[in-house]
Amino acid sequence: MIDQTEALTSIDINTGGFVGGRNFHDTIFKTNLEAAQAIARQLRLRNLGGIIVVDFIDMSEISHQESVLAEFAKALTLDRTRTSMSSFSQLGLVELTRKRTREALASQLCEPCPTCDSRGQILTARSICYEILREVLREAKQFNPREFRVLASQTVVDLFLEEESQHLAMLGDFIGKPITLEVANHCSQEQYDIVLM
Ligand SMILES: [Zn+2]
């Protein structure tokens, strides 16, 4: 599990399954050895820089700890980027620093999502319908157009034509003005315009 924050990257190793029985210590040892190699590879692939904290699975045997560190150090020598490594801290963590070079992979290949503004979620079409109704009401108190034209995404317009048609009609009656709908293909679900005609 690699978790990247602005300040540091933390890497957590888990066995990914049931560990038990007589070979408990061996399984943990082998998992940590494999992880040491995998981590060194991932650091290169993702070009992770700065402080990296690795939380290996706790190993009681000192010889196992030493072997894992040695394996890790060996795997890190393949790295052309300067890397330095601590030994196990009292909490069982290994700290690395890796020189930051070109930007990390995620920021090279990705950009903020314009649809959700990088929140990862967008308001439902129904929420947008209600937002539009409130906005029309607000504007009807301030302005006196002949008609209000709502420009919105297909989904929002569809909802107004079907399930929300009564609310739209009620608002139209209340303000005494027609409210018309128009699909605006450039609008994402959250975007709309209210045009005063
Ligand atoms: Zn998004």
pLDDT 10s digits, 52-64 = 999 999 888 889 9
Both tokens of 191, joined, read: 């975007």
> What's the CA-to-centroid distance between 122 and ligand 1, angstroms?
7
In a domain, 118, yes or no: no
Residue 20: pLDDT band by 50, 70, 90 thresholds?
Answer: low
Q: Is the pLDDT of residue 116 over 90?
A: no
Q: Is the pLDDT of residue 177 over 60?
A: yes
Percentage with pLDDT > 90 across the chain = 60
- The residue from 109, 134, 169 where one domain ends is 109
Is residue 102 located within the same domain as residue 187? no
- The residue from 61, 85, 109 where one domain ends is 109
CATH number at residue 35: 3.30.1370
Question: Which pLDDT belongs to residue 17?
Answer: 61
> What's the CA-to-centroid distance between 140 and ligand 1, angstroms?
33
Is residue 95 located within the same domain as residue 21? yes
In angstroms, rounded to a whole number, what is the distance separating the alpha carbons of residues 74 and 150? 64
Residue 101: pLDDT band by 50, 70, 90 thresholds?
Answer: confident
> What's the CA-to-centroid distance between 189 and ligand 1, angstroms?
12
Question: Which pLDDT belongs to residue 190?
Answer: 93
In a domain, 116, yes or no: no
Residue 16: pLDDT band by 50, 70, 90 thresholds?
Answer: low
Higher pLDDT, 103 or 185: 185
Residue 4: pLDDT band by 50, 70, 90 thresholds?
Answer: confident
Identify which of 92, 96, 77 has the alpha carbon closest to the alpha carbon of residue 28: 92
> What's the CA-to-centroid distance between 115 and ligand 1, angstroms?
5
Using an 8 Å Cβ cutoff, are 72 and 85 in contact?
Answer: yes
> What's the CA-to-centroid distance between 94 and ligand 1, angstroms?
35
Domain limits at 184?
125-196
Is residue 90 located within the same domain as residue 151? no
Is residue 99 located within the same domain as residue 12? yes
CATH number at residue 159: 3.40.1260.20
> What's the CA-to-centroid distance between 151 and ligand 1, angstroms?
22
Average pLDDT over residues 134-156: 96
In angstroms, rounded to a whole number, what is the distance separating the alpha carbons of residues 26 and 20? 10
> What's the CA-to-centroid distance between 102 and ligand 1, angstroms?
25
In a domain, 153, yes or no: yes
> What's the CA-to-centroid distance between 112 and ligand 1, angstroms?
8
Mean pLDDT of all residues belonging to the chain? 89
> What's the CA-to-centroid distance between 99 and ligand 1, angstroms?
31
Both tokens of 179, joined, read: 């409210």
> What's the CA-to-centroid distance between 111 and ligand 1, angstroms?
10
Is residue 70 located within the same domain as residue 135? no
Who contacts 15 (Cβ-Cβ below 8 Å, separation ≥6)? Answer: 27, 28, 31, 57
Average pLDDT over residues 34-43: 93
Question: Which pLDDT belongs to residue 103?
Answer: 62
Report the number of distinct structural domains present in the chain: 2
In a domain, 24, yes or no: yes
Q: Is the pLDDT of residue 68 over 90?
A: yes
Q: Is the pLDDT of residue 35 over 90?
A: yes
In a domain, 192, yes or no: yes
> What's the CA-to-centroid distance between 165 and ligand 1, angstroms?
29
> What's the CA-to-centroid distance between 114 and ligand 1, angstroms?
6
> What's the CA-to-centroid distance between 191 and ligand 1, angstroms?
14
In a domain, 119, yes or no: no
In angstroms, rounded to a whole number, what is the distance separating the alpha carbons of residues 79 and 128? 51
